[in-house]
């Protein structure tokens, strides 16, 4: 997303664009009748104003948890899954750009090995969430590190709710 220009930079851009457009329209900077270019100047201002407005950004709310498990829940499971919110939100916001009405619930499952690494992950349930979005959420989940759950490992279940921002 482009960042807005500083006031001095905007002034420079205005001057440069005005010079280029007026020259391209057959007027020089030394035009003895600068009032004739007022129509072009108004268009230049509208162009600059439109260019300075950042594009709309899709935004959604992501709620994660609580985590459940088929054995002892890793000690840091809550903080790990809450840490996933930012990554999940980036997946969701990207999906909202293509389909602004996307919303729903996803239940993800991750097999956590004895050392806390995620050895596999899958979607257990998906309501209203397209597969590419579920896949993005799974990629984020596969890259986290839990505390060791013990020598046998565990399977954790992570519910995720996705809702457009209001």
Q: 13 pLDDT band (50/70/90 cuts)?
A: very low
Spans of all domains in the chain: 7-52, 60-164
Average pLDDT over residues 66-71: 93
Specify the pTM.
0.66
CATH classification number, 60-164, choose in 3.40.50, 2.60.40, 3.30.2420, 3.20.20: 3.30.2420
State the pLDDT at residue 27: 47
Q: Write out pLDDT tens, residues 110-137.
A: 999 999 999 999 999 999 999 999 999 9
Long-range contacts at 2-5 (CB < 8 A, ≥ 24 apart)? 2/54, 2/55, 3/54, 4/52, 4/54, 5/52
């Amino acid at each position: 997303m482009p960042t807005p220009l500083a006031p001095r930079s905007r002034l420079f851009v205005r001057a440069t664009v005005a010079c280029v457009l007026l020259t391209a329209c057959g007027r020089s900077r030394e035009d003895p009748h600068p009032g004739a270019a007022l129509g072009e100047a108004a268009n230049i201002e509208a162009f600059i104003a439109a260019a300075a407005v950042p594009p709309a950004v899709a935004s959604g709310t992501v709620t994660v948890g609580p985590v459940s498990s088929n054995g002892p829940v890793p000690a840091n499971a809550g903080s790990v899954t809450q840490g996933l919110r930012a990554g999940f939100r980036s997946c969701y916001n990207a999906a909202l750009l293509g389909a602004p009405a996307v919303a729903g619930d996803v239940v993800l499952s991750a097999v956590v090995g004895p050392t806390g690494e995620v050895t596999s992950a899958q979607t257990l349930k998906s309501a209203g969430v397209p597969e590419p979005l579920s896949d993005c959420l799974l990629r984020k989940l596969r890259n986290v590190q839990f505390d060791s759950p013990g020598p046998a490992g565990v399977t954790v279940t992570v519910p995720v709710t996705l809702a457009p921002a209001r």
